[in-house]
Amino acid sequence: MKQFIAFFTKEFLHVFRDRKTLLLLFGLPVVQIVLFGFALSNEIKNSKIVIFDYAKDATSRKIIEKLEVSKSFEIEKNITRVEDIDKSFRAENIKLAIVFPANFGEDLVHLKNASVQIIADASDPNTANTLTSYATNVIMSYQKEMMQTRNIPYSINTEMRMLYNPELKGTTNFVPGVMALVMLLICVLMTSVSIVREKENGTMEVLLVSPFNPFLVVISKAIPYLILSLFNLIVILVLSVYLLDMPINGNIFLLFAESALLILAALSLGLLISTLTNSQQEAMLFSLMGMLLPTMMLTGFMFPLENMPVPLQVISNIVPSKWYYIIVKSIMIKGLGFSAIWKETLILAGMTALLLTISIRKFNIRLE
């Protein structure tokens, strides 16, 4: 036990004396959360729009008011000529034009049917799409209100509901993804690099010629990173709850337990990489290529897996973070319990066991 403590102390000293590593360890999660949460967010705020109101009646004004209070839009100006629509798209940074035809309110009340034209700048199709649906949402919600107050018996109602994420918040997707990414990166990279560093510096040689069980050398190197990663998890969760208004709907202990499982999987993977490589550079390259790309691409938080060709979907099954991502989404966002995620947990546990077995068998108690 004393030996273990000596190892922890040593490993923590290594980490805390190496400023660059320290920055990587604790800076990375913060930077990623902030970056993904704000800068790289795919929700759109304060888009400039123009309104062309032929109707100028109570109904159209109410809808405009609603658009005005929406966080997504910022009404740049009201225009009165058809040519100005085109002009403002070209000259200014206008994303959307909303046109109310004459007699808009009349039509709605009497004919129970009125149309609004939404013109979007589709040079960026994703933004155009999102903004159009935001605008539609606003109009729909008004329509619904109106129907309730005026008690119109029949109506054609397009109901749109965004499950779990009614405001189409981008962060709900990012946080679980970033959690998976950060923990995998840190655990795999740090473990493999720190073990390989001992090989490279020759200290492994000295450690092997000691009564300390060689495999325990490696295990005791992994545990400090487990602790550091759990600490990182807390940082990520605190940031996402207080900075990004992201809820934790499920059981937080279950979330920690599952995260510990992912960390174990990552540590065993790091261990495996360290037994296969002989220099820090090699280990780093392996970890980055082996972890960063698949985690970014095949986890599902950046690009939906459902849209990928079948071979990639099959490959994604061996990426641990894919399962973790499903688990975290289920716990944090949907608020589900263990019964909903036992399958994914089992797969992740199986992967960990497999990786650990291979790396133990591969681990070299000698120098050859």
Measured from the CB atom, the residue of 93 and 201 that comes closer to other proteins is: 201
Site membership for other proteins, residue 208 (CB under 8 A): yes
Site membership for other proteins, residue 22 (CB under 8 A): no
Site membership for other proteins, residue 20 (CB under 8 A): no
Please report how close the Cβ of residue 297 comes to other proteins at its closest, in angstroms: 36
Contact region for other proteins (CB under 8 A) — 11-19, 74-82, 302-310, 348-356? Answer: 11-19
Site membership for other proteins, residue 219 (CB under 8 A): no
Contact region for other proteins (CB under 8 A) — 63-71, 200-208, 262-270, 294-302? Answer: 200-208
Site membership for other proteins, residue 145 (CB under 8 A): no
Site membership for other proteins, residue 42 (CB under 8 A): no
Measured from the CB atom, the residue of 225 and 301 that comes closer to other proteins is: 225
Site membership for other proteins, residue 14 (CB under 8 A): yes
Phi, psi of 217 (to 5 degrees): -55, -45
Please report how close the Cβ of residue 16 comes to other proteins at its closest, in angstroms: 10
Please report how close the Cβ of residue 285 comes to other proteins at its closest, in angstroms: 23
Site membership for other proteins, residue 210 (CB under 8 A): yes
Site membership for other proteins, residue 19 (CB under 8 A): no
Site membership for other proteins, residue 3 (CB under 8 A): yes
Site membership for other proteins, residue 167 (CB under 8 A): no
Please report how close the Cβ of residue 28 comes to other proteins at its closest, in angstroms: 21
Measured from the CB atom, the residue of 203 and 317 that comes closer to other proteins is: 203
How many amino acids of this chain bind other proteins (CB under 8 A)?
A: 26
**Is the Cβ–Cβ distance between 170 and 250 less than 8 Å?**
no
Give CA–CA dist 158/52, Å, rounded.
24
Contact region for other proteins (CB under 8 A) — 109-117, 176-184, 209-217, 317-325? Answer: 209-217
Site membership for other proteins, residue 17 (CB under 8 A): yes
Site membership for other proteins, residue 13 (CB under 8 A): yes
Q: What is the 3-state secondary structure (H, E, C) of the chain?
A: CHHHHHHHHHHHHHHHHCHHHHHHHHHHHHHHHHHHHHHCCCCCCCEEEEEEECCCCHHHHHHHHHHHHCCCEEEEEEECCHHHHHHHHHHCCCCEEEEECCCHHHHHHHHCCCCCEEEECCCCHHHHHHHHHHHHHHHHHHHHHHHHHHCCCCCCCCCCCCCCCCCCCCHHHHHHHHHHHHHHHHHHHHHHHHHHHHHHHCHHHHHHCCCCCHHHHHHHHHHHHHHHHHHHHHHHHHHHHHCCCCCCCCCHHHHHHHHHHHHHHHHHHHHHHHHHCCCHHHHHHHHHHHHHHHHHHHCCCCCCHHHCCHHHHHHHCCCHHHHHHHHHHHHHHCCCCHHHHHHHHHHHHHHHHHHHHHHHHHCCCCCC
Out of 18, 68, 92, 245, point to the residue binding other proteins (CB under 8 A).
Answer: 18
Interface ranges with other proteins (CB under 8 A)? 2-3, 5-7, 9-10, 13-14, 17-18, 201-203, 205-212, 365-368
